[in-house]
Amino acid sequence: MNNDWLTAFVLHRRAYRETSYIVDFFTLEQGKVSAVAKGVRNSKSDKKSLLQPFQALKLQLAGKSDLKNLRHVESTAPSINLAGTPLFCAMYLNELTNRIMPAGLASEAVFGAYEQALTALFNDDDIEITLRKFELSLLDEMGLLPDFTEDVEYEMPIEAEKHYVLQPEFGFCALPNGYTRKGLPGSALLALAQGEFTPMSKRVAKVLCRDLLKPLIGDKPLKSRELFVVRKH
């Protein structure tokens, strides 16, 4: 029996049999872990009230199979209460993490980026920057984040005055002069390399994250995106 406490957030929960939940947790120490929370569905217990998204937790799991049993769960901070657009964005973070992060892959960087994103959404920070920072962290962990400073075709530094195209799985290649309409400005790539979000680098980051995340997300649409589109209309 494992007595280690895990630092965690709930990504998703679903009904299991008549009285239980299967809960997908994102943990600092073990990455994404799924566990059965027995007998809590129809109760008014503290355990059920804690098994909500955006609530910082510590928990203990038991079992040797991939599907664990939840032994203990406690809150470690007040719940992050979100509404409106920040709530839909946080739901997107959860769904993206659950869809992309492999089970059992611990990542201090992605977990930290997730915590920072929730805090930023609660503080009503720039939503575009908040989402892009998390997406870039996730892509980096998956080994899909290109080098924003190098032209891979000529093995030369990216130049602010030139425009570039992303070759998937390779990196950025300079476009010939006169073919800049569909290119990505070198100045924006260099800004992203420094973690700077100018109006132009924000637009470039959105395009890059969308294209790089697409094969990881797969063909099944994200429900959080659908809900956000419905809300906007």
List, for residues 198-211, the tens digit of each pLDDT value. 999 999 999 999 99
pLDDT above 80 (res 230) = no
pLDDT above 80 (res 41) = yes
Q: pLDDT band at residue 168, thresholds of 50, 70 and 90? A: confident
When the pLDDT of each residue in the chain is averaged and rounded to a whole number, the result is: 92
Q: pLDDT band at residue 30, thresholds of 50, 70 and 90? A: very high
Q: Exposed (0-12), middle (13-18) or buried (19+): which is 42, by Cβ within 10 Å?
A: exposed
Q: Exposed (0-12), middle (13-18) or buried (19+): which is 152, by Cβ within 10 Å?
A: middle
Q: What burial letters (b/e) apply to 64-88, b meaning 16+ CB within 10 Å?
A: eeeebebbebeeeeeebebeeebbb
How many degrees, rounded to 5, is the angle at CA 113 between CA 28 and CA 37?
A: 40
What's the pTM value of the predicted model, to 2 decimals?
A: 0.92
Tokens 């420094």 correspond to: 194
pLDDT higher for 226 or 115? 115
Q: What are phi and psi of 154, to 5 degrees?
A: -105, 0
pLDDT above 80 (res 94) = yes
Nearest by Cα to 198 from 206, 207, 188: 188
Give the side-chain half-sphere CA count within 13 A for 143.
Answer: 1
pLDDT score at 180? 65
Q: For strands 67-75 and 163-167, give the pairing.
A: unpaired
Give CA–CA dist 92/87, Å, rounded: 9
Q: pLDDT band at residue 229, thresholds of 50, 70 and 90? A: low
Tens digits of residue pLDDT in 95-148: 999 999 999 999 999 999 999 999 999 999 999 999 999 999 999 999 999 999
pLDDT above 70 (res 231) = no
Q: Per-residue pLDDT averaged across 166-170, rounded? A: 88
pLDDT score at 73? 95
pLDDT score at 1? 47
